[in-house]
Amino acid sequence: MRAWGKPRVAGTREDMRVGVVALAGGVGAGKFLRGLVGVVPPEDVTVVVNTGDDLVVHGLHVSPDLDSVLYWLAGAMDRERGWGRADESFRTTAELRRLGADGAWFGLGDLDLATHLLRARLLRDGHSLSAATAELARRFGVATRLLPMTDDPVATRLSVIDESGRERDLHFQEYWVAREARDRVLAIRYVGADAARPAPGILQAVEEADRIVICPSNPIASIDPILAVPGIRGAVEAARDRVVAISPIIGGAPVRGMADKLLPAVGEAVSATGVARHYRKLLGAYVIDRVDAAARPEIEGLLDGGTVAVVDTLMVDDAVATSLAAAALACVGAGA
């Protein structure tokens, strides 16, 4: 494995500072990325973030996964809640709810609102979402390159059956936050993905990266929307020998979130094996938790010669996240 942080030799591939590309959703990715930037210089990491969850609330473009990654990397996150800022208050949302404002079911914190006001200003001034994201990262002191999967609008939408048996079409956040994931999910669509273009820099970063990491994020809600943007799946598949994923499922359940509701909707089992099957064409290696060690031979079969590493994946703190990141990087790329 390359010695991270070693001075690069001018004129060689080491000089290109391409490092690691991570495909990321929200909380699980945020935790993992804190570990990743403990073993790779932060400026050598490019994070490609899901924007299928994005929505407009009170006229503001909210990008929950971009903000989770930003706050986790900046150390500004609320570790328990997972999303949003530490030391947060929700007085503005409470007042908007009292006033009966549309969209106030989505809880924007008062500090979080500052991010949204700044992003809104940048977008209104004509900046792309990529440019606005780079500017927010700079202002939060985050040296890692954060890229939305696309600057074009993509919305993750779910066909569900509600409690009265009626079929409904919901935005991901309506399903998850407003309706608390109580509906039975029939199908998932990434509306707009077909016409979207990868944000500038993504395809080149994937092509040149030493390693590509699929973070322990929800495969259906977070990673598949990224892969649905034309060009990205093909670029990742072409780099397969350099791609490693970390299972977001431990012992048959997601650490948090709704993967248990969404994997069955695409016909996959809620297990480390189910996720491996879902990603099988993309992976050179896969990392599972020790509690799933018995699944290793079956997963090795699915991965057609790919490496399966068994380690602790429950990121209770940054130290575990750092060990996990080091183990994931050791599975693929030069010297693996």
Q: Which residues bind ligand FO1 (CB under 6 A)?
A: 25-26, 53, 62, 64-65, 67-68, 83-84, 106-108, 112, 173, 176-177
Smallest separation, CB 297 to ligand FO1 (Å): 32
Alpha helices in 125-264 (DSSP H): 129-139, 172-173, 202-208, 224-227, 232-238, 259-262
Whose Cβ is closer to ligand FO1: residue 88's or residue 210's? 88
Q: Tally the residues of the chain.
A: 336
**Alpha-carbon separation of residue 249 from 104, 314, 315 (angstroms):** 31, 10, 12
143, containing H or E segment:
none
Whose Cβ is closer to ligand FO1: residue 218's or residue 273's? 218
Smallest separation, CB 20 to ligand FO1 (Å): 21
Smallest separation, CB 68 to ligand FO1 (Å): 6
Whose Cβ is closer to ligand FO1: residue 120's or residue 295's? 120
Smallest separation, CB 30 to ligand FO1 (Å): 9
Whose Cβ is closer to ligand FO1: residue 1's or residue 111's? 111
Smallest separation, CB 153 to ligand FO1 (Å): 16
Q: How far apart are CA 213 and CA 332, in angstroms?
A: 9
Whose Cβ is closer to ligand FO1: residue 85's or residue 211's? 85
Q: How far apart are CA 283 and CA 291, in angstroms?
A: 21
Smallest separation, CB 71 to ligand FO1 (Å): 8
Cα angle at 224 between 24 and 28, to 5 degrees? 30
**Alpha-carbon separation of residue 78 from 74, 84, 178 (angstroms):** 11, 6, 21
Whose Cβ is closer to ligand FO1: residue 78's or residue 241's? 78
Whose Cβ is closer to ligand FO1: residue 215's or residue 232's? 215
Query: Would you put residue 192 in left (φ > 0), alpha (ψ -120 to 50) or beta?
Result: left
Smallest separation, CB 288 to ligand FO1 (Å): 22
Whose Cβ is closer to ligand FO1: residue 35's or residue 257's? 257
Give the residue among 245, 244, 241, 232 at the shortest CA–CA distance from 206.
232
Whose Cβ is closer to ligand FO1: residue 53's or residue 268's? 53
Report yes or no: 228 and 249 within 8 Å, Cβ to Cβ.
Answer: no
Q: How far apart are CA 270 and CA 251, in angstroms?
A: 9
Smallest separation, CB 284 to ligand FO1 (Å): 26
Smallest separation, CB 28 to ligand FO1 (Å): 9
Report yes or no: 19 and 209 within 8 Å, Cβ to Cβ.
Answer: yes
Burial of 21 (0-12, 13-18, 19+ CB in 10 A): buried
Q: Which residues of 313-333 are buried (b: 16+ CB within 10 A; e: fewer)?
A: bebeeeebbbbbbbbbbbbbb
